[in-house]
């Protein structure tokens, strides 16, 4: 099969715009600021500021469409998602410890709000991980460097419905993260590689633990 006959997700295509992922990063940083200080690691502003600085550096180094293949930019992108992950895991752990030890606020509205913030951040963080790791990341996908996908989107099997130029973008991975964390299992998109399966399992496990504890405590307080 010639290159022009390959589906969009398998051939060299125009790079993806960074702004949807950048907006998601900013949303996650704002959500971190909405949490009380006891649920944030270190000084409350430290990680959000580091995340925004890293994002600005990425945008400045590769504005517009992401097509530059440089190890430094790749490491910086993964560092950014790592910072977001660390902040969310630390906040989730602190909330779970509060719930198990009886510390923190007993107001159901406060418990649910903090749980919802961490839950929403979980969606953003794992959406970024799926986007950054599937077939080597957005730049590698734009250059068609890897033919075997880590996630099988339904559009990949329905070229007659979506057209030959369809390829996954950040919002597709964000939707994948949302459905996985809501259903606690794959829905329309299937993980193919072992790392994708394990990462989805971790996301579901974290969300399930958090939701169960938050709702159990909130219902107990109401009683």
pLDDT digits (tens, 9 = 90+) for 22-35: 999 999 999 999 99
pLDDT of 105 reads 61
pLDDT of 4 reads 62
Contact 174, 122 (CB under 8 A): no
- Cα of 58 vs its chain's centroid, Å: 17
Residue 186 lies in a domain: yes
Residue 2 lies in a domain: no
pLDDT digits (tens, 9 = 90+) for 64-76: 888 888 999 999 9
Residue 194 lies in a domain: yes
Q: How far apart are CA 154 and CA 142, in angstroms?
A: 19
> Looking at the DSSP assignment, which residues form a beta bridge with residue 66?
16
Among 112, 121, 110, 143, smallest CA distance to 16 is for 143
Name, in order, each residue with C-beta under 8 angstroms of 87's C-beta and a sequence gap of 6 or more. Answer: 32, 40, 41, 47, 48, 51, 121
Residue 58 lies in a domain: yes
pLDDT of 73 reads 93
Residue 1 lies in a domain: no
Domain residue limits at 200 = 8-222
Residue 196 lies in a domain: yes
Residue 161 lies in a domain: yes
- Number of separate domains in the chain: 1
> Looking at the DSSP assignment, which residues form a beta bridge with residue 16?
66
- Which residue matches tokens 């075997």? 148
pLDDT of 159 reads 78
pLDDT of 189 reads 94
pLDDT digits (tens, 9 = 90+) for 170-203: 999 999 999 999 887 888 899 999 999 999 999 9
3-state secondary structure of 65: strand
Name, in order, each residue with C-beta under 8 angstroms of 59's C-beta and a sequence gap of 6 or more. Answer: 18, 22
pLDDT less than 50: residues of the chain:
222
Residue 67 lies in a domain: yes
């Amino acid at each position: 099969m010639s290159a022009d006959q390959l589906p969009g997700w398998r051939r060299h295509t125009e790079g993806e715009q960074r702004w949807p992922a950048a907006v998601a990063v900013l949303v996650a940083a704002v959500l971190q600021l909405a949490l009380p200080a006891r649920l944030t690691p270190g000084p409350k502003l430290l990680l959000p500021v580091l995340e925004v600085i890293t994002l600005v550096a990425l945008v400045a180094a590769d504005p517009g469409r992401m097509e530059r293949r440089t190890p430094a930019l790749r490491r910086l992108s993964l560092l950014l998602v790592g910072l977001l992950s660390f902040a969310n895991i630390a906040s989730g752990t602190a909330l779970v410890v509060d719930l198990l030890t009886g510390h923190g606020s007993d107001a159901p509205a406060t418990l649910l709000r903090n749980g919802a913030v961490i839950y929403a951040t979980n969606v953003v963080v794992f959406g970024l991980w799926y986007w950054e790791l599937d077939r080597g990341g957005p730049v590698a996908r734009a250059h068609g460097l890897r033919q075997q996908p880590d996630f099988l989107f339904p559009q990949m099997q329905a070229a007659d419905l979506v057209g030959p130029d369809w390829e996954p973008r950040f919002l597709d991975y964000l939707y994948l993260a949302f459905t996985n964390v809501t259903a606690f299992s794959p829905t329309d998109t299937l993980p193919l590689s072992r790392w994708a399966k394990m990462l989805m399992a971790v996301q579901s496990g974290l969300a399930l633990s958090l939701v169960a504890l938050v709702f159990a405590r909130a219902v107990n307080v109401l009683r």
